[in-house]
Each structure stands twice: as C-alpha cells, then as structure tokens.
Amino acid sequence: MKLYLDPGHGGSDPGAQGNGLQEKNLALDIALKIRSILENNYENIDVRMSRTSDITKSLSQRTDEANAWGADFYMSIHINAFNGSAQGYEDYIHSSLSDSSATAKYRDIIHTEVMKLNQLDDRGKKKADFHVLRETTMDAMLSENGFIDNAHDAELIKQEAWRRDVAQGHAIGIAKAFNLTPKQNDDRGTLYKVIAGSFKDRENADNRVAFLQSRGIESFVATATISGETWYRVQAGAFSSRENAETRVREIESQGIDAFIVTD
C-alpha cells in the first residue's frame, strides 16, 4: 500500500497560528510520527511525504507528486484555526463523493480511530472542495487536528505525547482501512528500555525527569547497580519492539538529550 502523507503548509507558509504555535511545525511532527509508527509496525506499507522538513511547497507540487507516484491514499495533516472559541477535530473528503464511496469508508475507519485517542470534541465528518482532495487521482482525506487558537485545544496540541496519540490514531486507522499486515516481532520477550540519562546524583536524575515532563515525555528514575556502584537512570519508556524504542530515542534526542537503549 502506497501512502502519500502530506503535512500541511511549510516554509514561508506557517498555516494557522495561535498560542505561540505554528501549524506547519505541528503538522510535520504528527506526520513524521505517523510515518514511523506505520513503518515500524506494518509490513506492506510504502510511505512518501510531501515534506520532511520546513520547506515551501505548492499544493500542485504535492498533488502532482502523489499522482505521478501512483499513491493508493493521500492523507493530509492540518491544525485548524477560527475565532478562538471553536474547538475539536474534523476531517474532510471531496465534496463530490457519496457517503458510500470507498473514500468515505476509509475516512469512517480513520475518523473512528483518531477520535479514540485525540481527547478532542468531534466536529464531524465533512466534505469540501479543497485542492488536495480535488486534484488527487486516488482516495484522499484531510484531517484538522484541533484549533491552534483555542486555549483548550492548544494546551493539548503543544504536548508531544498528544501528538504521538494523534499520530497513533491515524496510523491505526490507515492500517485497519487498508488491511496492513502487522510486523512479526522477532525479539519476543525482550524489553527495550530507553534511558535518557544515567546519574550518580539522584537530584540530577529528578531534574532530567522534570525536563522531559515539560516536553511531554513521561519518564521515571530507576536505580541500577553497575560494577558495585548505584546509578540513577531516567527511564523514558520500555518497548517490546526495538524499532519503537529507537523512535523514542530519536524523540528524546530531538529535545537535545542523549538517550540509549538497554535490554537488562
């Protein structure tokens, strides 16, 4: 299954703005997370992205690229803005499509899975004549993940853990809609722990936990005895899949913190 994943806006086009946040950055973060969840957990998925960094790219360039590649599905990720009081999640398919169309059925599945995890009000399944929905030759959907100018939604949007949940909802929905095959875990029984710092001094470990918390990454202090010495390790997740542990390492490293994986 060929998925064209399109984080909205980018470069000179910030998209919606509010509460110190810019849509282009959040949409990119969510889309990168969707890609890594899908690639780490499913076999028959090929993901291309309209952008993987903060670049300017026109809507025509995006849809031309997806059409030329022969994508099976076009998923565009956005964050909404309106008047400060509107809030919640909504998604769109093209206005010409019926509720019984294949696109509508894929959207129904993805909508359900995203709503299970996003903690947002459900504004419904909508239709519109957006460029990316109209000019794509494959099934296409656009999601608007909360309102950046609404205090309630922005409080969630700014949290890395929330963006991971939103990405997870999209990934599970896409996997269900397209019957993706889960990857077999060939390291059954092994637990991959992500360590975001190891300290001789407990206070330093506690400070690291607080810092990660401020960036939306949950962690706790675990003691480890190495060569007879006690170390305070900051554990930020434990995974049965090494790839998922590596994804967490990259998330932590993007916050300027070194992290590594242990299997003890």
Sheet holding 2-7, edge to edge: 46-49, 2-7, 73-80, 139-147, 89-94, 122-128
DSSP states of 53-79: SS----HHHHHHHHHHHT-SEEEEEEE
Number of residues near Zn ion (by CB under 5 A):
3
In angstroms, what is the minimal distance from the CB of 101 to Zn ion? 24
DSSP states of 135-192: S-SSEEEEEEEEETTSHHHHHHHT-HHHHHHHHHHHHHHHHHHTTPPBPP-TTTT--E
Which residue is at the shortest CB distance from Zn ion?
78
In angstroms, what is the minimal distance from the CB of 98 to Zn ion? 25
Is residue 18 a contact point for Zn ion (CB under 5 A)?
no
Is residue 7 a contact point for Zn ion (CB under 5 A)?
no
**Does the annotation count 65 as an active-site position?**
no
The smaller minimum CB distance to Zn ion, of residues 15 and 173, is found at 15
d(CA 170, CA 214): 25
User: Would you give the DSSP letter of residue 207?
Assistant: H
| Residue choice 7, 15, 88, 169 for contact with Zn ion (CB under 5 A) | 15
Give the strand pairing for 229-239 and 2-7.
unpaired
In angstroms, what is the minimal distance from the CB of 204 to Zn ion? 41
2 closest CA partner among 174, 167, 144, 159: 174
| Residue choice 8, 10, 88, 146 for contact with Zn ion (CB under 5 A) | 8
The smaller minimum CB distance to Zn ion, of residues 91 and 251, is found at 91
Is residue 78 a contact point for Zn ion (CB under 5 A)?
yes
What string marks each residue from 96 to 125 as x (binds Zn ion by CB under 5 A) or -?
------------------------------
User: Which is the catalytic residue, given 90, 113, 144, 160?
Assistant: 144
In angstroms, what is the minimal distance from the CB of 16 to Zn ion? 6
In angstroms, what is the minimal distance from the CB of 77 to Zn ion? 9
Question: Which residues belong to the active site?
Answer: 144
Q: Which residues bind Zn ion (CB under 5 A)?
A: 8, 15, 78
